[in-house]
Structures are given as structure tokens and as C-alpha cells.
């Protein structure tokens, strides 16, 4: 990749403490395996919002895939489909959701609610028409985090010929993706009035917000700190996960992203209360290295690593992974 674009994908906000913290948090956790559990052949199938997936490892929403590979988001979708899992399409994708959907496989759509309600509703309807099966609403971005790498590199816009295609309105103009500091629970209720899709909130870290989400009829949560790209110094997601899962008390699915790099990380997340996990940067790295084939291989190898770790920990299904299988060290 162009080093400037590689920095865009790898970088985070501020001094990147949260980027590093997401990874370091897993180093403080250890698996306490059970034995003689007769796990046999493991079954990693996971059902989310009526869709059965082959693995509890999903593709997180990330922007600008055409900067990583000429196949763009469509290639990522092909890799995810081959792995039998969901890709969450970013609102800031560099290919239209319709083209990404044509690549096959189940999709969810990530949304930044825009200040213009009519345009937001049009984007949601467009995602519905393309076949997206859930709406992932990012709620941790009232403003954009300060990303020093992008400032240093002068990376302020996409190269000529590329655009956030899902922000193209009916006049053909591409609108900028706006962060909206007025976003509140009333906007989530409004979204419910314009879509029948399941609504998943992405960016929840505090258990009080998790309880409010359930009270407001949200269908799922993603415990996320935006990969460390918004509030530097935010809690690592794997550390935030147990309290959020306890607050939700199995009433809705809880997913998590941030710092997951191997199957044992996924096992720890599932044991700490996640229904599934999402990968961001590792998928982009795979896409850059080898397009759809490499994305599939990344997801396949992580799923195989999770399968192996489950056998060694004494679990046959993801639901067998319980909090007592993980301990904190250091």
C-alpha cells in the first residue's frame, strides 16, 4: 500500500494509547481450560438476527477499501462470503452497497446518522434495497478524533476518482460524511420508525448505556472503541465487555471488536460474554496482501485457530465458553 494509506488504516487518535491498549489487554488475560469434556467435532455455527453463520468471526465496518486493493469492498465481501460470515459495509465505502451486495454473502450496513433526516432515511432504504440484513449505527463519534498520522501525512481526502459512494445523493453529488454532536436516543427511536431492520449500536463501552439500549428496544450492541480512532485513552474493549454483557443479561446479542488477532483472543471474548467478534485491521491487511482470496484465508485460519482453542479449552460450541474459563493476570 501507499504508506500514507497504510498509516490511515493502522493509525489511531492522539498518542494511540487505546490502539495499543486493545492489544495489550489480551496479554493480561489467560485461559483456564477444562478437561475430559468430550468435545468431539466442534460446532462454531452462530445465528444472528435469523442468519446462520459458519463462524462467530465477522468483518467489521472499515472505510476506503479501494485504497488497499483494486477489488475494494466487493473483494472483501467475496472473502467473507467464502468464509460463511457477515461483512458489515461501511457508510464510507469506496464502492456502492449494490456492487458489494452483488459479490454475495450476508451484509449488514454501518450508518453514521446524518444531520439531514431525509438523506439518512434514503441511505437506510438504499441499504435495505441492496439486501442488507441489519443496521449498525455508530454512536461513539459526535466529533472526529484527532489522528496525528493523517495530519502529519496531509491525508485529508480520497485520491481523485474515489469517493464515499454510499454518500452519493439522487442528484449524483457525493455528500461529506458528517459527525453529529446532536445525536441522542431520540434519533435511535426515529431510525426505528424508518426501518424494519434490526438496529445494532456500535461504540458502547459503559454498562449504563447498554441498559439504556435495551430499554430503547435496540436489537444488539457492539462493544467498540472505534479501534482506538476516536477517544484516545478509552478503555480496551475486552476489558469493557464483561460489564456490558452483565448489564444486557442475554436480552440481546453483544458483539465486540478491537485487538482480536488470533483464535484464542476470540475465545476469550466469547467467554467474557460476546456472542460474536468482529475483525477490522486484520481483514484490511489481508485484502491488501491478496484480495478476496487472502480475506477468506484470514477468516478461515482464525476460525480454525478458534476451533482448535475451543477443543483445548474443553468447549464444543461457542455457548460452552463461560467467564470461568478466563482469568486476569498482572
Looking up cell 438496529 gives 199
Q: Which of 5, 65, 69, 226 is catalytic?
A: 226
222 half-sphere exposure, CB direction, 13 A CA radius: 30
Helices of type H across the chain = 3-10, 17-27, 72-82, 97-102, 117-129, 148-153, 185-194, 207-215, 237-248, 263-271, 281-313
- What DSSP string runs through 55-104? -SEEEPP-S-GGGT-TTHHHHHHHHHHHTT--EEE-TT-SS-HHHHHHT-
Q: Respond yes or no: is residue 216 known to be catalytic.
A: no
How large is the C-alpha radius of gyration of the chain? 19
268 touches 26 (CB < 8 A): yes
- Sign for the CA dihedral angle at 103, 104, 107, 113 comes to positive
Alpha-carbon span 227 to 202, nearest angstrom? 11
- From the centroid of its chain, how far is CA 174? 24
Catalytic residue list: 226
Amino acid at each position: 500500500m501507499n504508506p500514507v494509506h497504510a498509516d490511515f488504516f493502522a493509525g489511531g487518535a492522539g498518542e494511540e494509547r487505546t490502539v495499543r491498549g486493545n492489544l495489550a489487554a489480551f496479554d493480561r488475560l489467560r485461559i483456564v481450560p477444562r478437561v475430559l469434556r468430550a468435545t468431539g467435532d466442534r460446532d462454531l455455527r452462530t445465528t444472528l438476527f435469523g442468519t446462520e453463520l459458519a463462524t462467530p468471526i465477522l468483518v467489521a465496518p472499515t472505510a476506503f477499501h479501494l485504497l488497499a486493493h483494486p477489488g475494494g469492498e466487493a473483494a472483501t465481501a467475496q472473502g467473507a462470503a467464502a468464509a460463511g460470515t457477515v461483512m458489515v459495509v461501511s457508510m464510507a465505502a469506496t464502492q456502492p452497497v449494490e456492487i458489494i451486495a452483488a459479490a454475495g454473502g450476508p451484509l449488514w450496513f454501518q450508518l453514521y446518522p446524518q444531520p439531514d433526516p431525509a438523506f439518512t432515511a434514503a441511505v437506510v432504504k438504499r441499504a435495505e434495497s441492496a439486501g442488507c440484513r441489519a443496521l449498525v449505527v455508530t454512536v461513539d463519534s459526535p466529533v472526529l478524533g484527532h489522528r496525528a498520522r493523517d495530519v502529519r501525512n496531509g491525508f485529508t481526502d480520497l485520491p481523485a476518482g474515489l469517493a464515499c459512494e454510499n454518500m452519493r445523493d439522487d442528484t449524483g453529488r457525493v455528500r461529506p460524511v458528517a459527525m453529529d454532536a446532536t445525536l441522542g436516543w431520540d434519533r435511535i427511536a426515529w431510525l426505528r420508525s424508518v426501518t424494519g431492520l434490526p438496529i445494532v449500536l456500535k461504540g458502547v463501552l459503559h454498562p449504563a448505556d447498554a441498559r439504556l439500549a435495551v430499554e430503547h428496544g435496540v436489537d444488539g450492541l457492539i462493544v467498540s472503541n472505534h479501534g482506538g480512532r476516536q477517544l484516545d485513552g478509552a478503555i480496551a474493549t475486552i476489558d469493557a465487555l464483561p460489564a456490558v454483557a452483565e448489564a444486557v443479561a442475554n436480552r440481546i446479542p453483544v458483539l465486540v471488536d478491537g485487538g482480536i488477532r488470533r483464535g484464542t483472543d476470540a475465545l476469550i471474548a466469547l467467554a467474557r460474554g460476546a456472542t460474536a467478534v468482529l475483525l477490522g485491521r486484520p481483514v484490511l491487511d489481508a485484502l491488501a496482501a491478496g484480495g478476496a482470496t487472502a480475506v477468506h484465508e484470514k477468516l478461515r485460519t482464525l476460525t480454525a485457530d478458534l476451533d482448535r482453542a475451543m477443543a483445548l479449552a474443553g468447549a464444543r460450541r461457542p455457548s460452552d465458553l463461560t467467564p470461568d474459563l478466563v482469568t486476569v493476570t498482572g
